[in-house]
Amino acid sequence: MLGTGVGAVLAAGALVWLPGLVGGDGRDRPPGPVERAAAAARAGAPAALPDLVALIGDREAWLRGHPDDAPAWAELGAAYTERAVRTGAVPDLARAGAALDRSLAVLPADRGNLDARLGLGALAGARGDWKAAKAWGEGVRKADPKRWAAYPLLIDAYDGLGEYPAARKAMESLEELRGGAVVRGRAAQVYRDRGWREDADATALDAAALAATDAEGAAAYARLGRFAWERGEPAEALERYGAALRLVPEHGPALAGRARALAALGRTGEAAAQWRAALARQPLPEYVLESGELAESLGLDGDARAAYGRLRAGSWASPADEVARGLLEADHGDPAVAVARLRAAWERGRRSVAVADALGWALHRSGASREALGYARRAVEEGPRSAPFTYHLGEVERALGRTGPARRHLAEALRIHPSFSPLHAPRAREALEALGEPAVTADALPKDALPGDVPPERSSARGSGAGKRT
């Protein structure tokens, strides 16, 4: 999911100036793009991308005439960061850093410039520097524990570092300080990350009901679509993504979600067209990789090579870049390159479950399946209930001759989502068929290979809750 911590940072300070909502004839007029972006920012919601662009232009124009406005520089820096996260525009990160530095030059941090400090935390997160993001967020929380915008930033940082108990505490603090659609949506994401699917969906529905703007509603319905997709319900996902697109017609995550769902439903021509639309709006690394894998599954090798080449050649802002590029090299290039890249990320403290999964898969693909096993297990045990993560673990176990666990995890991946990938789901079925049925004599089998065996619950490090893992 994109930039929720960044959106909260943009919300941290009230915009200094906005055009009024009264026309020259004295009559009320509908809010324009800048006002809509400001309303979304104040709620901590992602503004529609055209509105965010308008807001950036407005701040740039304001600051040309008011260069000593420290809060406006901080707002501009946060807006640049959000645009970078949502579009992959790397130059915006440099612009964000310059704007935030200017804000601190006008009003230093020790004189109370919390907006700029939050902005620098969001910028660090966009670059995948979770240690720095954590330090900035914790500094703001210490200075002002009731500043709600610090907590989404901290949740992202703790998740990126694999510090899940701290992320849960930050979520609890956020809920104590603030309600509304954005916070309910954030809570839904935390529940999803714990594997509490029923709680996640119910809370996401609350967020949709509480949405006060089209941007909030689109984000809420796109989240619901993602949850339905991850449960293996592409038809329901398609409906929910459609609801998001009716509110914001060019909503990037909803366009990408529709492409996935259409592919799973066998509507591959429509899926390919939808991927083109998604990439035109939001060319994120994971989207480029998925579009290439759909093309490869259809035998369109030229289109697949073009997508993979685009991913290798591109410059990206999102920390998801290293995961997407790692998976690209693991499956479609040089696994040793993937291992080197992902191991370096891990050593820099980027220890999310996504990095653990990708590193484990790259190690397996490079022939180091024994070392891969710990990372693959960590992703499955500490992460959401994920078909790709579970498939990767099953394949690692199959390579190690752990037939019972491999059979169980490959079957579980297909139960979670029978069409989780147009390229890898068929491979999961082939691998499961190659393993064959378990032996008939029960006393000759390890316990974990018995029919009806229940997969182990996720590690206690993630805690427990009332939600059901279904």
What is the DSSP track for 161-223? HT-HHHHHHHHHHHHHH--SHHHHHHHHHHHHHHT-HHHHHHHHHHHHHH--SHHHHHHHHHH
Q: What is the DSSP letter of 22?
A: B
Residue 10 has pLDDT above 90, yes or no: no
Q: Tell me the average pLDDT of the chain.
A: 86
> Regarding predicted confidence, which is higher, 399 or 33?
399
Tokens, residue 93:
């990160």
- Structural domain including 156 reads 1-16+31-178
Residue 140: name the closest of 9, 319, 230 by CA: 9
Residue 39: inside a domain, yes or no? yes
Q: Is residue 55 part of a domain?
A: yes
Confirm if 255 and 245 have CB atoms less than 8 A apart.
Answer: yes
Would residue 438 count as lying in a domain? yes
Q: Residue 6: CA atoms inside 13 Å, Cβ hemisphere, count?
A: 27
Q: What is the mean predicted confidence (pLDDT) over 402-422?
A: 96
| CA 211, chain centre distance (Å) | 20
Q: For residues 289 and 326, what is the distance between their CA atoms, to the nearest angstrom? A: 11
What average pLDDT does this structure show over 421-430?
Answer: 96
The domain boundary residue, chosen from 111, 144, 178: 178
pLDDT number for residue 281: 86
Give a yes or no: residue 2 inside a domain: yes
Residues 176-225: tens digit of each pLDDT: 999 888 899 999 998 998 888 899 999 999 999 999 888 889 999 999 99
Is the per-residue pLDDT at 25 higher than 60? Answer: no
Locate 442 and state its tokens: 């029960």
Among 178, 199, 214, the domain boundary falls at 178
Give the rounded percent of residues in the chain with a pLDDT score beyond 90. Answer: 66
pLDDT band with cut points at 50, 70 and 90 for residue 318: low
Show which of 178, 212, 247 is a domain's final residue: 178
As a whole number, mean pLDDT of residues 302-315 equals 90
> At 9, is the pLDDT very low, low, confident or very high (cuts 50, 70, 90)?
low
Q: Indicate if the pLDDT at residue 164 is higher than 50.
A: yes
Q: What is the pLDDT of residue 5?
A: 55
470 assigned to some structural domain? no
What local confidence, expressed as pLDDT, does residue 151 receive? 95
Whether 100 maps to a domain, the answer reads yes
Identify the residue whose tokens are 């520097």: 129
CATH of the domain at 368: 1.25.40.10
The model carries a pTM of 0.82
pLDDT at 1: 38
* pLDDT at position 144 over 60: yes
Count: domains in the chain: 2
For residue range 337-360, list pLDDT tens digits in order.
999 999 999 998 888 899 999 999
Angle between helix axes 114-126 and 91-106 (nearest 10 degrees) is 160
What does the pLDDT read at residue 6? 58
Q: What is the pLDDT of residues 86-128, one digit of tens each?
A: 887 888 999 999 999 999 999 998 898 999 999 999 999 988 8
Tens digit of pLDDT for each residue in 227-257?
999 999 999 999 999 999 999 888 989 999 9
Average pLDDT for 131-142: 95
Q: Between 429 and 469, whose confidence is greater?
A: 429
What confidence category does residue 21 fall into, taking pLDDT thresholds of 50, 70 and 90? very low
Structural domain contains residue 408: yes
Q: Does residue 458 register a pLDDT over 50?
A: no
**Residue 176: predicted pLDDT:** 94
Q: CA-CA distance, 241 to 329, in Å (whole number)?
A: 30
192 in a structural domain: no
Alpha-carbon span 422 to 414, nearest angstrom: 12
